[in-house]
Amino acid sequence: SMDYALTRETKFRVGYRKDFIDSYFTNFVGFNVVDARLSTSVNDDLNLAAGYSIRFEGYDGAIVRSDIVNRADLVASYSFAKWSSA
């Protein structure tokens, strides 16, 4: 994957992975995954991130098929550290 700092607070990551794993109902599954993520710090306490990936799966063996898996996520995190210290 490759990371880019668009600004000091905003980062962008894009990646690609090709691999294969054993499958319990056929010989193996080969896959290619392309993903991207954008994350930013709104202030010292609030962080936001959004990501998307697409995975192309190819099963080979007794069963032959192809699948496409899409995944998207949004994440917000807030740090309560200032409030929790005594």
Does residue 84 carry a pLDDT above 70?
Answer: no
CA distances from 40 to 7, 15, 48, 53 (A): 9, 18, 5, 18
User: With 70 as the cut, is the pLDDT of residue 83 above it?
Assistant: no
Q: What is the pLDDT of residue 80?
A: 80
Question: Do residues 38 and 50 lie in contact, with contact meaning Cβ atoms separated by under 8 Å?
Answer: yes
| Whether the Cβ atoms of residue 48 and residue 38 lie closer than 8 Å to each other | no
C-alpha–C-alpha distance, residues 18 and 64, integer Å? 19
Closest CA to 36 of 12, 8, 56: 12
Higher pLDDT, 17 or 81: 17
Condensed to tens digits (0 to 9), the pLDDT of residues 15-61 reads 999 999 888 888 889 999 999 999 999 988 899 999 999 999 999 88
**Separation CA 6–CA 2 (nearest Å):** 13
pTM metric for this prediction: 0.80
Query: What torsion, rounded to 10 degrees, do the Cα atoms 45, 39, 71, 16 define?
Result: -140
Looking at residue 86, what is its pLDDT?
Answer: 55
**Are 39 and 47 a contacting pair, CB within 8 Å?**
yes
